[in-house]
Structure 1
Amino acid sequence: MICDMSATLTARQVDLLGRLTDLVVAEGFAHLTLDDLAARLRCSKTTLYALAPSKDQLAVRVVNNFFRRSTAFVESRVAQRRAPLRRIEAYLEAVAEALRPASRQFIDDIAGFEPTRATYRDNAVAAARRVRELVDEAAAEKAVAPVDAAFVATWVGVTIEAIQRGEFAERAGLGDAAAFEELGRLVSRALARPA
């Protein structure tokens, strides 16, 4: 059973979780022991256990934290744009930027552990839903070429799932961030009104 991630953290724990997330995003988590993490973060294992009762649950907490931070970053970028098509572009560009620090090892470790793979999958579904909302908003304002928002969202969702499964890395040699950049360009071109 996964630990309750909703518990309130102290300021010190928030800082530790942030540093832990940065470390794991850069290097992955499967090969690191709790002793490794404690040494690298200059804390005790007891301090890490205060974040989660096991290494597996700590990995889940870190991946959840990564996606929580990423979502906040992405939505702040979207909020800066007013033009509907630019909001869609900003969303996909920001997703690419948020994923850029994620090492291949981190992405592979997420894929190799069902609870973290489920977190990535849930975030992919949420991303497709958010794209549909943005396309619906843009279509309502007649700011994009006439499209079926459900189709666009499904297309984006299927592509995001393929990115998550590593298919673009394997078939096209593209990391997740680069694949999101390409997806953003394609969506932008597909939705642009003809000149």
Structure 2
Amino acid sequence: MQPSSATTFGTARRTQLFDELLALFLSEGFAHLTLDDIAARLRCSKSTLYTLADSKDGLVVAATVHFFRGATAAVESQVAAVDGARERITTYLAAVGRALDAASAQFMADLGAFGPAREVYETNTAIAAQRVQELIADGVAAGDFRDVHAAFAGELAATMMVGIQQGRVRAATGLDDAAAYRELAAILTGGINA
């Protein structure tokens, strides 16, 4: 059964609003914005926003989930396009960094200060760390990497990824999240080469 054109339009409009909401949050952050501000900026009514979520907090969480869902799909499509363990890990971490390039410092600060959205970031960081561990294990099994303990190397990556997510790396080094992911890729893959 095909969806009606009204349903298709509703879904398309909803996706468009999420994209616009996300673009607004990524560029300016969200803590300072009220529902009235958001509605005015997106040229919609507050009742339209309530079709996306039941509160501003809900909008923030939904937009954060939308961001990470899109970023994950983009990252994985880039990884699928390359061969070799080193290239896959480098591509993965660099793509994560590029995905975070879209996020302003204000968005990242607001994300860190708002528990429910921070939990989304933390969950996605944990998933990404697990993915790096899988890529390392694949590389060891293929002989592309020396026989490192994949769980240890993955935990090393996870520790750095959490440090990046929590802002400790930025504070200590001045590197933004995207640049830190690129550095992690270079160090990690250089250290485990066969």
The answer to whether structure 1 residue 76 and structure 2 residue 77 are counterparts is: yes
Equivalent position of 2:158 in the other structure: 157
Note the residue ranges of structure 1 that are not aligned, 5 or more in a row: 1-7
The answer to whether structure 1 residue 112 and structure 2 residue 113 are counterparts is: yes
Equivalent position of 2:4 in the other structure: none
Deviation at 1:26?
A: 1.0
Which of the two has greater helix per residue? Answer: 2
Equivalent position of 1:4 in the other structure: none
Identity of aligned residues (%): 46
Distance in 1 (CA, whole Å) between partners of 2:187 and 2:64 is 28
Q: Deviations over 1:20-78 (max 9, x none)?
A: 11111111111111111111111111111100000001100011111111101100110
Deviation at 1:126?
A: 0.3
Deviation at 1:135?
A: 0.7
Q: What SS class does the counterpart of residue 10 from structure 1 fall into?
A: helix
Deviation at 1:82?
A: 1.4
Deviation at 1:79?
A: 0.4
Distance in 1 (CA, whole Å) between partners of 2:149 and 2:27 is 38
Q: What does 1:24-63 correspond to in 2, within 5 Å? A: 24-63=25-64
Q: Deviations over 1:140-172 (max 9, x none)?
A: 111112211000110011111111110111111
Equivalent position of 1:3 in the other structure: none
Distance in 1 (CA, whole Å) between partners of 2:170 and 2:90 is 22
Q: What SS class does the counterpart of residue 82 from structure 1 fall into?
A: coil
Distance in 2 (CA, whole Å) between partners of 1:180 and 1:93 is 6
CA RMSD of aligned residues (A): 1.2
Deviation at 1:93?
A: 0.6
The answer to whether structure 1 residue 134 and structure 2 residue 140 are counterparts is: no
Distance in 2 (CA, whole Å) between partners of 1:43 and 1:97 is 30
Distance in 2 (CA, whole Å) between partners of 1:140 and 1:169 is 34
Note the residue ranges of structure 2 that are not aligned, 5 or more in a row: 1-7
Q: What SS class does the counterpart of residue 174 from structure 1 fall into?
A: coil
Write out the 4+ residue segments of structure 1 that deviate beyond 4 Å after TM superposition. none
Equivalent position of 2:68 in the other structure: 67
**Normalization by structure 1: what TM-score?**
0.93
Q: What SS class does the counterpart of residue 144 from structure 2 fall into?
A: coil
Distance in 2 (CA, whole Å) between partners of 1:46 and 1:61 is 16
Q: Deviations over 1:62-120 (max 9, x none)?
A: 11111111101100110001112111111001000000010111111111011111111
**Normalization by structure 2: what TM-score?**
0.93
Letter in 2 for 1:158: T
Deviation at 1:19?
A: 1.1
Distance in 1 (CA, whole Å) between partners of 2:162 and 2:182 is 15
